C-alpha cells in the first residue's frame, strides 16, 4: 500500500527492492561468495555459557603420568609399578624414575609403538615398545614432577587438571591433530600421512564457525605462510614441516586458496595484540613451534610459552569471559598406567596432560570425566550451538563440569614459577612493642621526676 | 621547675665560677617588664595572652601541616617507613613487600603501626607526624622561654610553626620530624640541667638523646653538640661519674633497638646498612646544604640569628654556646659526610629559630628610624620603648610572613617537580600504584627505573617491583634493595610483566632511562596507563605533562 503523503518513504521502498534484486543476482552468480557474505554479516550466535572466548593450545608428546603421575589426589602412577623389559615377563622390570635434568629422547610414538605398549590392554609393553626402536626403553618410565614443572603444577592447584583426558588417536600427531579440528582421523585406513591433494572436503570446526558467523583464528608460533601442504613434500624434507601437521588447515586447499580464510591463520604475535586489545575471536586455536615440549625439546620453554599466553589472556579485557585449554597431541612414547578405552579402530590413545584455565574454572579441581580432543570440539559446539562434525565429537563428553558458572568470574592471578612460594617471615612484634613501650615509659617517668624534683645536685 | 622560672630567676654566666649559678636577675626583656599603669585588668589580659598566643601559633602550625596533606601520595622514604609500620602491625598487604627491619631503629614505625593494621593508609601516618610537628613547635616555645623568656619562646615557636623547612618535613612520614621533636626535648633537658644542676636532668638529657637516636640513629651526632658545649663551657659542673651515668642512660635507652630486633629474630640489618653508608658515593655536591637549607629555614631567619649574635655579642652567655654547638654538630658532620639529605639538618631548625627570636626581640633600632616613626606616629619622646617595640613587632611580622608565604606555596603546590628526597610527595606515584593494583593481575612483577618508584609502586600497587638502576654490586647499593642482575633475562622469561618509566627518576639518570626504553621497545612495550601533571609551558599556559608511564611488556 502506498502512502501519498510520504513520497520519500515510497522512494526508499523502491531502493530497497532494487538492492535486494541486485543481491539475489549476485548470489546466483557466485553462491560461495554470497554464503561468505552472509556469514560475515550474520550476527554472531551468542554463547550458551559465560565463555565468549575459547582458546585451545596443543603441545606435544607427553602422558599424564609423565607430567602428573606423582601428584597427590590424581589418578597417578600406582605404587609398586615396575614395567617389564619384555612383555609377559615380570622380571626384569623398570620402576618409574625421576627424569629431571637427565635429558630425554624423542621416543617412538607410532601406531606400532602404541600396539606394543598397549599390548591388548595389558599395558606392559612401554619399555619394549621403545627398545624395539633401538632406543633405551627404560626412558619410557621416566617422569617429571613439580621440580621440573612448577608452573603447571601451580596451575593445577589453582584451576582444573583433567586426569582422564585421552589423546584421540592411538597413533601419532597427524591423526590426533585431525581429530582436534575435524572430530575424525583424517586419513583413514593404514595411512597416516597427509594426502598429496590435502584433506579435501573433510569438514572442520572452522567451517561450522564460519557458517554460524562466529569469529575464529588459528595462531601459529613462528608462522611461515609459505609452508602448506603444497610446498611440503614430507616432514623431513623442509624445515618446520610440522607446521602443516600441527595446523591441519594448511593442508586444505579451500583454506589455503581463499585469502579471507587463509588470513585467519596468523602468527602468534597477533594473539598477543588481539588479547591486549580485547579483540580475541570466539574460538582461538594455537599451534606452537619450538616451544612445543616435543622431546627432546625443553619443557621449560614450553612452560614459558604457556605462561606467556596465559599472562596475556589474564591481563586482557577478555579474561572474564575466556577459557584456555591446553593438552598434548599424543603420548610421545612415555608410560601411562591407564588403559585407554578403544571407542573405535583409531582410539583412544594413552592419556595426555590437559589443563583448563578460566575465571570460572573450579579452584584446584581434578576432573576425571573421560575426555579426548573432540571434547573441545564438543564444548565449542555446545557453547555456540553448532552441529557435530563426526561421530566422535557427537558422542564425546565435554568439560562443562570443570566450570562453576554460579560464581562470579575470579580475578586473574599470575602464578609463580616457584613451587614453594617464598615465605614471608614476620618477626615477632611483641619484643618490639614491649621494648619501645618500656623504654618510652621509663624516659617519660625520668623526665617527670626530674621536673618535679627541685633539689639541686652539687 | 617550670618554664615560668626563666623570666624571674635567670642563670647568669659567671666566667670565674666553677659552676653555673643561679641569680635573680632583672631581664631587659619586654615581656618581663611591667609598665606603670598596668592595673589588675591588664594583668588578667596578660595572663591569658601567652597561652592564647601559643594556642594560635599551634593552630597555625597545625593548619600548615594538614592543609592538603593528602594531595600527593607518599614518596619513596615515606612508603618504606609506612610499609615497615604496616608490616610490624601484621598488615597482609605490606608484609610481603616491606620487611619490618631495614636500616633504622623502629621507634617511629612502632608509634605509627597501630594506624596501619589494615588496608591502605597514608593520611593517618602523615597526621601523626603533623601532630608531632605541632608538639615540636610547643617544645621550641618551652626551650626559648626557658633560655630567653616567654616572648622569645613565643616568637621562636612562631618561626618554627611557619618555617618551610619544618613544615615540609613534618608533613611527611619521615623519621626526621619526630627525631627533631626528641632532639628539641633533649636540648630542653640539657638547659634544665645547666640551669638547675640537678643530676636527674643530666640523666634525662642522656635518656632523651637515646630516644632521639631510637627515632633515627644518625642523631648520635647531636651527642657531639652536647660534648662541644660542655667542653666549651667548663663552668658547667659535670663530674665524670655523672657524665657516665648520663651516657649509660643514652646507651640503655638505645639498646631497645638492637635488643628488640634480636628478640624479634633479626640482627644483621643495621650492620649491613652501616657498611653501605660508610662506602657509598656522594649523592650531592658540597654546596648542597648551602643551596637548600637556608632558603628552607628562611633567609631572614638565618640572617636574624647571625645578626643577633653580632648585635647582642656583649650579652653572650652559655646559652648561645649551647645553641651554636647544637647547630654546629649536625651541620659539620653532614657537610663532611658524603651522603646528604635535604632534611638531615632539621635538628638545627629549633636553635636557629630561638637565636633568631632572641635577635628579633632585642634588635637595635637606629635612631633615624626612631625619629621617623615618632614623626609618623606622633609618638612623644616619653615613649621610646613603644616605638622600638613597634619596629621590632613589624620586623617579626615581616620575618614570619617571609616564612609563611613559601610555606603556603609549598603546601598548595601539587606539581612538585624536583623529586628531591624529603621535599614532598611524588605526583602521580600513588595514582600509578593504585592503577596497577586495580588493573593488573595479582602476582604481576614490575620493573621501574629506580628504587624510589619501586617503593611507591610496592606501597600503593602491592606489586613486587625492582629498580633497574639498583646496582648488583653490594657495595654500591642500599642493602634494603634487591637488584635485578639481568633484567633482559627476566623479561625474556616473562618474569616481568610491566615496566614503569617516571620523569623524576629519568631526570636523575638519563642512562638508565634510555636503557629502560630499550627494554620496553625490545619486549613489545605497550602503554597501558599514563599519569600527567599540569605544568606551565613557555607561553604560560597549563599543559599536561606525562610524569609516569606504565607499559605492558611480553617476551
Closest CA to B410 of B399, B424, B400: B424
- The values of phi and psi at residue B442, to 5°, are -60, 140
- Percent helix, strand, coil in chain A, to 5, is 40, 10, 50
Predicted local confidence at residue B279, as pLDDT: 67
Residues 6+ positions from A399 with CB-CB distance below 8 Å: A160, A162, A325, A356, A367, A369, A371, A375, A379
Is residue B12 scored above 80 in pLDDT?
A: no
**Could you tell me which chain B residue has the CA closest to the CA of A313?**
B441
- B267 band by pLDDT with thresholds 50, 70 and 90: low
Q: Rounded to two decimals, what is the model's pTM? A: 0.84
Spell out which residues of chain B touch residue A312, defining contact as CB-CB under 8 Å.
554
Predicted local confidence at residue B240, as pLDDT: 84
Is residue B535 scored above 70 in pLDDT?
A: yes
B residues 74-133 near A, CB within 8 Å?
87-90, 95-96, 100-101, 106-107, 110-111, 113
B residues 149-208 near A, CB within 8 Å?
185, 189, 192, 196-204, 207-208
B residues 232-251 near A, CB within 8 Å?
237, 242, 249
**Could you tell me which chain B residue has the CA closest to the CA of A424?**
B96
Give the C-alpha distances (Å, rounded to integers) separating B404 from B339, B408, B502: 30, 6, 32
Predicted local confidence at residue B540, as pLDDT: 82
Is B196 in contact with A456 (Cβ distance < 8 A)?
Answer: yes
Is residue B151 scored above 60 in pLDDT?
A: yes
User: Residue A246 is inside which H or E element, if any?
Assistant: helix A242-246
Spell out which residues of chain A touch residue B214, defining contact as CB-CB under 8 Å.
436, 439
Chain B contact for A446 (CB, 8 A cutoff): yes
Selecting from A429, A434, A440 the residue whose C-beta is nearest the C-beta of B90 gives A429
Is A450 in contact with B554 (Cβ distance < 8 A)?
Answer: no
Closest CA to A309 of A295, A298, A323: A323
Q: What is the mean pLDDT of each run of 10 residues along chain A (458 residues)?
A: 44 53 46 42 71 96 96 95 90 91 81 90 91 86 94 96 96 92 86 86 95 96 90 59 89 94 96 96 94 89 95 95 96 94 92 97 96 96 95 94 95 91 80 93 93 62
- The values of phi and psi at residue A403, to 5°, are -100, 155
Chain B contact for A421 (CB, 8 A cutoff): no
Q: Chain B: nearest CA to A293, how far in angstroms? A: 16
- The values of phi and psi at residue B99, to 5°, are -65, 145
Chain B contact for A307 (CB, 8 A cutoff): yes
CB pairs under 8 A between A and B: 142
Best B117, B139, B204 member to test A by mutation, with max A CBs in 10 Å, is B204
Predicted local confidence at residue B499, as pLDDT: 97
A residues 382-411 near B, CB within 8 Å?
411
Predicted local confidence at residue B285, as pLDDT: 79
Is A435 in contact with B256 (Cβ distance < 8 A)?
Answer: yes
**Could you tell me which chain A residue has the CA closest to the CA of B22?**
A456
B residues 472-531 near A, CB within 8 Å?
493-495, 497, 524, 526
Is residue B474 scored above 80 in pLDDT?
A: no
Is residue B439 scored above 90 in pLDDT?
A: yes
A residues 130-169 near B, CB within 8 Å?
none
Predicted local confidence at residue A46, as pLDDT: 86
- B26 band by pLDDT with thresholds 50, 70 and 90: very low
More confident residue, B197 or B79: B79
Instruction: Please provide the average confidence, as pLDDT, over all residues in chain B.
Output: 85
Over residues B13-24, the mean pLDDT reads: 41
Instruction: Report yes or no: A219 and A47 within 8 Å, Cβ to Cβ.
Output: no
Is A436 in contact with B107 (Cβ distance < 8 A)?
Answer: yes
Selecting from A412, A426, A440 the residue whose C-beta is nearest the C-beta of B87 gives A426
Spell out which residues of chain A touch residue B210, defining contact as CB-CB under 8 Å.
439, 443
**Could you tell me which chain A residue has the CA closest to the CA of B107?**
A436
Closest CA to A336 of A108, A163, A120, A99: A163
Is residue B158 scored above 80 in pLDDT?
A: yes
Predicted local confidence at residue A234, as pLDDT: 57
Is B196 in contact with A454 (Cβ distance < 8 A)?
Answer: yes
- The values of phi and psi at residue A143, to 5°, are -140, 160
Give Cα A317 distance to the centre of its chain. 20
Is residue B296 scored above 50 in pLDDT?
A: yes
Residue identified by cell 599551634 is: B58
Residues constituting chain B? 555
Is A458 in contact with B197 (Cβ distance < 8 A)?
Answer: yes
Best A290, A324, A446, A458 member to test B by mutation, with max B CBs in 10 Å, is A446
Chain B contact for A4 (CB, 8 A cutoff): no
- B376 band by pLDDT with thresholds 50, 70 and 90: low
- B416 band by pLDDT with thresholds 50, 70 and 90: low
Chain A contact for B214 (CB, 8 A cutoff): yes
Report strand pairing: B526-536 vs B464-467.
Answer: unpaired
Predicted local confidence at residue B36, as pLDDT: 41
Residue identified by cell 586473574 is: A412
Is residue B118 scored above 90 in pLDDT?
A: no
Selecting from A308, A438, A456 the residue whose C-beta is nearest the C-beta of B554 gives A308
Assigned C-alpha cell, B388: 622600638
Spell out which residues of chain A touch residue B441, defining contact as CB-CB under 8 Å.
314-315, 411-414
Selecting from B1, B110, B554 the residue whose C-beta is nearest the C-beta of A451 gives B1
Q: Chain B: nearest CA to A300, how far in angstroms? A: 10
Predicted local confidence at residue A424, as pLDDT: 72
Chain B contact for A283 (CB, 8 A cutoff): no
Report strand pairing: A322-328 vs A53-59.
Answer: parallel
Give the CA angle between residues A307, A315, B93 to the nearest 5°: 95
Spell out which residues of chain B touch residue A435, defining contact as CB-CB under 8 Å.
256-257, 259-260, 263
Give the CA angle between residues B181, B194, B353 to the nearest 5°: 40
Amino acid at each position: 500500500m502506498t502512502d501519498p503523503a510520504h513520497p520519500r518513504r515510497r522512494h526508499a521502498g523502491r531502493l530497497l527492492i532494487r538492492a535486494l534484486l541486485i543481491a539475489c543476482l549476485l548470489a546466483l552468480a557466485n553462491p560461495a561468495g554470497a554464503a561468505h557474505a552472509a556469514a560475515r554479516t550474520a550476527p554472531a550466535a551468542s554463547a550458551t555459557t559465560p565463555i565468549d572466548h575459547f582458546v585451545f593450545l596443543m603441545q606435544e608428546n607427553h602422558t599424564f603420568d609423565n607430567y602428573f603421575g606423582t601428584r597427590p589426589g590424581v589418578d597417578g602412577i600406582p605404587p609398586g609399578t615396575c614395567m617389564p623389559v619384555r612383555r609377559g615377563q615380570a622380571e626384569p622390570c623398570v620402576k618409574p624414575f625421576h627424569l629431571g635434568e637427565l635429558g630425554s629422547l624423542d621416543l617412538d610414538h607410532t601406531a606400532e609403538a602404541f600396539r606394543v605398549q598397549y599390548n591388548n590392554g595389558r599395558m606392559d609393553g612401554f619399555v619394549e615398545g621403545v627398545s624395539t626402536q633401538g632406543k633405551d626403553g627404560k626412558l619410557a618410565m621416566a617422569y617429571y614432577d613439580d621440580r621440573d614443572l612448577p608452573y603447571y603444577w601451580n596451575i593445577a592447584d589453582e584451576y582444573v587438571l583433567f586426569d582422564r583426558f585421552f589423546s584421540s588417536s592411538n597413533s601419532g600427531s597427524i591423526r590426533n591433530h585431525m581429530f582436534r579440528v575435524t572430530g575424525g582421523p583424517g586419513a583413514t585406513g593404514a595411512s597416516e600421512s597427509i594426502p598429496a591433494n590435502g584433506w579435501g572436503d573433510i569438514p572442520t570446526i572452522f567451517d561450522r564457525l564460519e557458517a554460524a558467523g562466529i569469529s575464529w583464528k588459528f595462531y601459529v608460533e613462528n608462522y611461515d605462510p609459505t609452508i602448506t601442504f603444497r610446498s611440503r613434500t614430507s616432514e623431513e624434507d623442509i624445515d618446520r614441516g610440522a607446521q602443516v601437521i600441527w595446523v591441519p588447515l594448511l593442508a586444505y586447499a579451500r583454506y589455503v586458496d581463499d585469502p579471507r580464510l587463509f588470513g585467519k591463520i596468523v602468527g602468534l604475535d597477533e594473539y598477543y595484540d588481539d588479547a591486549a586489545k580485547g579483540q580475541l575471536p570466539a574460538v582461538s586455536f594455537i599451534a606452537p613451534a619450538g616451544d612445543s615440549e616435543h622431546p627432546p625439546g625443553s619443557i621449560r620453554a614450553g612452560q614459558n610459552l604457556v605462561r606467556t599466553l596465559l599472562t596475556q589472556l589474564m591481563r586482557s579485557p577478555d579474561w572474564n569471559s575466556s577459557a584456555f585449554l591446553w593438552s598434548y597431541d599424543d603420548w610421545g612414547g612415555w608410560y601411562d598406567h591407564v588403559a585407554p578405552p578403544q571407542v573405535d579402530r583409531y582410539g583412544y590413545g594413552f592419556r595426555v596432560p590437559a589443563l583448563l584455565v578460566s575465571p570460572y574454572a573450579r579452584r584446584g579441581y581434578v576432573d576425571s570425566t573421560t575426555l579426548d580432543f573432540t571434547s573441545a570440539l564438543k564444548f565449542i559446539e555446545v557453547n555456540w550451538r553448532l552441529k557435530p562434525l563426526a561421530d566422535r565429537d557427537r558422542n564425546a563428553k565435554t568439560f562443562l563440569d570443570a566450570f562453576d558458572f554460579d560464581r562470579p568470574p575470579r580475578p586473574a592471578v599470575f602464578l609463580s614459577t616457584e613451587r614453594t612460594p617464598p615465605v614471608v617471615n614476620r618477626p615477632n612484634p611483641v619484643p618490639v612493642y614491649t621494648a619501645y613501650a618500656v623504654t618510652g615509659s621509663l624516659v617519660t617517668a625520668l623526665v617527670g621526676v626530674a621536673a618535679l624534683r627541685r633539689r639541686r645536685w652539687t | 621547675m617550670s618554664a615560668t622560672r626563666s623570666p624571674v630567676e635567670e642563670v647568669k654566666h659567671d666566667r670565674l665560677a666553677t659552676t653555673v649559678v643561679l641569680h635573680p636577675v632583672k631581664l631587659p626583656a619586654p615581656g618581663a617588664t611591667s609598665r606603670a599603669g598596668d592595673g589588675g585588668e591588664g594583668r588578667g589580659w596578660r595572663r591569658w595572652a601567652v597561652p592564647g598566643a601559643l594556642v594560635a601559633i599551634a593552630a597555625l602550625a597545625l593548619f600548615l601541616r594538614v592543609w592538603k596533606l593528602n594531595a600527593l601520595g607518599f614518596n619513596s622514604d615515606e612508603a618504606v617507613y609506612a610499609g615497615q609500620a604496616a608490616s610490624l602491625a601484621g598488615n597482609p598487604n605490606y608484609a610481603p613487600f616491606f620487611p619490618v627491619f631495614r636500616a633504622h631503629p623502629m621507634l617511629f614505625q612502632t608509634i605509627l603501626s597501630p594506624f596501619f593494621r589494615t588496608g591502605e593508609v597514608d593520611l593517618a601516618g602523615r597526621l601523626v607526624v603533623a601532630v608531632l610537628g605541632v608538639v615540636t613547635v610547643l617544645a621550641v616555645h618551652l626551650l626559648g622561654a626557658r633560655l630567653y623568656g616567654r616572648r622569645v619562646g613565643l616568637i621562636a615557636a612562631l618561626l618554627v610553626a611557619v618555617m618551610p623547612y619544618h613544615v615540609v618535613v613534618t608533613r611527611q612520614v619521615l623519621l626526621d620530624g619526630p627525631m627533631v621533636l626528641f632532639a628539641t626535648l633533649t636540648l630542653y633537658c640539657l638547659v634544665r640541667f645547666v640551669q638547675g644542676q640537678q643530676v636527674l636532668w643530666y640523666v634525662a638529657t642522656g635518656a632523651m638523646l637515646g630516644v632521639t637516636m631510637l627515632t633515627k640513629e644518625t642523631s648520635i651526632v647531636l651527642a657531639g653538640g652536647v660534648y662541644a658545649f660542655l667542653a666549651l663551657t667548663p663552668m658547667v659542673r659535670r663530674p665524670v661519674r655523672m657524665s657516665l651515668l648520663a651516657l649509660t642512660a643514652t646507651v640503655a635507652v638505645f639498646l631497645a633497638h638492637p635488643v628488640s630486633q634480636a628478640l624479634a629474630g633479626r640482627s644483621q640489618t643495621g650492620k649491613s646498612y652501616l657498611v653501605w653508608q660508610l662506602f657509598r658515593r656522594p649523592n650531592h655536591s658540597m654546596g648542597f646544604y648551602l643551596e637548600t637549607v637556608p632558603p628552607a629555614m628562611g633567609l631572614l631567619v638565618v640572617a636574624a640569628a647571625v645578626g643577633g649574635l653580632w648585635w647582642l655579642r656583649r650579652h653572650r652567655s652559655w646559652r648561645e654556646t649551647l645553641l651554636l654547638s647544637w647547630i654546629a654538630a649536625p651541620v659539620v658532620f653532614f657537610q663532611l659526610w658524603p651522603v646528604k639529605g635535604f632534611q638531615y639538618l632539621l635538628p638545627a631548625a629549633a636553635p636557629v629559630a630561638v637565636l633568631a627570636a632572641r635577635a628579633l626581640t632585642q634588635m637595635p633600632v637606629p635612631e633615624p628610624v626612631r625619629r621617623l616613626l615618632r614623626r609618623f606616629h606622633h609618638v612623644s619622646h616619653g615613649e621610646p620603648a613603644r616605638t622600638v617595640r613597634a619596629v621590632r613587632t613589624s620586623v617579626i611580622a615581616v620575618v614570619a610572613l617571609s616564612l609563611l608565604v613559601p610555606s603556603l606555596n609549598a603546601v598548595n603546590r601539587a606539581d612538585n617537580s624536583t623529586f628531591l628526597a624529603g621535599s614532598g610527595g611524588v605526583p602521580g606515584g600513588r595514582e600509578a600504584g593504585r592503577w596497577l593494583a586495580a588493573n593488573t593481575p595479582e602476582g604481576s612483577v614490575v620493573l621501574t627505573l629506580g628504587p624510589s618508584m619501586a617503593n611507591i609502586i610496592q606501597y600503593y600497587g602491592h606489586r613486587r617491583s625492582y629498580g633497574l638502576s639498583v646496582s648488583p654490586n653490594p657495595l654500591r647499593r642500599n642493602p634494603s634493595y634487591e637488584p635485578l642482575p639481568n633484567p633482559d633475562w627476566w623479561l625474556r622469561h616473562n618474569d616481568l610483566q610491566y615496566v614503569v618509566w617516571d620523569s623524576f627518576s629519568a631526570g636523575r639518570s638519563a642512562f638508565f632511562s634510555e636503557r629502560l626504553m630499550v627494554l620496553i621497545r625490545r619486549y613489545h612495550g605497550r602503554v597501558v596507563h599514563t599519569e600527567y601533571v599540569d605544568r606551565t609551558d613557555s607561553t604560560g599556559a597549563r599543559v599536561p605533562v606525562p610524569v609516569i608511564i606504565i607499559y605492558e611488556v611480553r617476551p
